[in-house]
């Protein structure tokens, strides 16, 4: 029996950020495509991958918000993880084959020492089972072919690390880690390295991202909840584009200067230097980002005039303290 052709989804412009609580077993891209389909969005992108075995905060960007996704890629992140002690695996997590077992004999003092040792700037060797590329090829592709390649250690920073004794889901000896870290940190590798420092080895058995770039897990929505919503309800889960611009200095331009700024022209005013600036036009419409140097407002990533209109219509932007343009002239 021939199947009926699948109905095409009528796409629409959607601008903003949706915080998804990524479910276990889903890749970041699969989750993105599912939410994009549910929202009927024209354009979408995520802000860095979260392993299929991980759950938690995954910001998804739509429309104009994709222009600012790098800010989340660069942001600090917080994780909760469980590492099973006494067993090392080929992948550093529960999916790999067991390659070594050791007895576990630890005290609370041992955990305090290891937490102090791994707090601050550290060097990490990226795992073979990762998406990092070597000669244009992802490391996991080499690993699947049974090839191990040399990897250069990378500098990362562990801002905060709490390690406590725990049990995994099978009531086996484990440690629970709460980690606040810089971008590029591999929690799987951190778990393995801590296991080695404790003398018993370890592999990661559970991982959850609880915060990224100022977005906590309590603001997230699940896929199940999204599926149960209607179109209008789903759209209310999409936060404004400028939610990605937390901590930016805010400058508001009048209509004439807003138009010139959107065309890429610098504006001049009485502002102090600032590295990160969110620029708004009339009616608090986000125009884009900039930086200020020597009294010049220098455009960065800009929305198109159509994106400005569409995103303004979609959201009622929260009023923020603004620095009013005092004197302007075309540059």
Residue 31 near residue 23, CB atoms below 8 Å: yes
**Which strand ranges, in their side-by-side order, compose the sheet holding 249-252?**
267-268, 296-302, 286-293, 274-280, 249-252, 323-324
Q: By the 8 A CB rule, do 142 and 132 touch?
A: no
DSSP 8-state secondary structure symbol assigned to residue 198: T
Q: Which of 21, 30, 51, 93 is catalytic?
A: 51
How far, in Å, CA of 219 to CA of 157, rounded?
26
How distant, in Å, are the alpha carbons of 130, 132, 140, 309 from that of 135? Answer: 14, 10, 13, 43
Say how far apart CA 279 and CA 261 lie, in whole Å.
9
Token code pair at residue 271: 């502002």
Tell me how far the alpha carbon of residue 148 is from its chain's centroid.
Answer: 28
Instruction: Specify whether 51 is catalytic.
Output: yes
Name which of 97, 93, 88, 84 is nearest 54 in CA terms.
Answer: 93
Cα separation, 51 vs 28, whole angstroms: 7
Is residue 104 within 8 Å of 85, Cβ to Cβ?
yes
Tell me the C-alpha distance between 189 and 270, whole Å: 49
Q: In 3-state terms, what secondary structure has residue 284? A: helix
Q: Length of the chain in residues, anyone?
A: 331
- What's the rounded Cα separation, in Å, for the pair 221 and 38? 13
Q: Using alpha carbons only, give the angle 24, 59, 53 rounded to the nearest 5 degrees.
A: 20
CA 207 to chain centre: 15
Task: List the catalytic residues.
Answer: 51
């Amino acid at each position: 029996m021939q199947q009926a052709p699948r109905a095409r989804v009528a796409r629409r412009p959607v601008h903003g950020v949706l915080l998804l609580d990524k479910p276990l077993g889903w890749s970041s891209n699969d989750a993105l495509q599912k939410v994009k389909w549910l929202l009927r969005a024209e354009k979408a992108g995520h802000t860095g991958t979260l392993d299929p075995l991980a759950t938690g905060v995954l910001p998804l960007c739509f429309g104009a918000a994709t222009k600012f996704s790098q800010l989340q890629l660069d942001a600090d992140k917080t994780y909760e993880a469980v590492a099973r002690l006494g067993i090392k695996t080929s992948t550093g997590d529960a999916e790999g084959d067991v390659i070594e077992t050791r007895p576990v004999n630890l005290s609370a003092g041992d955990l305090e020492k290891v937490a102090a040792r791994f707090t601050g700037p550290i060097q990490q060797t990226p795992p073979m089972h990762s998406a990092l590329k070597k000669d244009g090829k992802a490391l996991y592709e080499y690993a699947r072919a049974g090839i191990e390649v040399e990897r250069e250690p990378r500098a990362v920073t562990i801002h905060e690390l709490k390690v406590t004794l725990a049990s995994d889901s099978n009531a086996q000896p484990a440690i629970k880690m709460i980690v606040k870290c810089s971008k590029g940190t591999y929690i799987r590798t951190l778990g393995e390295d801590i296991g080695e420092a404790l003398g018993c080895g370890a592999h990661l058995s559970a991982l959850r991202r609880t915060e990224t770039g100022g977005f906590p897990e309590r603001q997230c929505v699940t896929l199940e909840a999204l599926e149960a919503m209607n179109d209008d309800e789903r759209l209310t889960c999409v936060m404004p584009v400028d939610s990605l611009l937390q901590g930016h200095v805010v400058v508001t331009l009048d209509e004439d200067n807003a138009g010139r700024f959107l065309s890429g022209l610098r504006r001049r005013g009485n502002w102090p230097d600032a590295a990160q600036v969110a620029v708004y036009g009339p009616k608090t419409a986000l125009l884009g980002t900039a930086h200020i140097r020597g009294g010049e407002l220098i455009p960065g990533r800009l929305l198109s005039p159509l994106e400005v209109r569409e995103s303004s219509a979609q959201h009622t932007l929260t009023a923020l303290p603004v620095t009013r343009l005092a004197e302007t002239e075309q540059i």
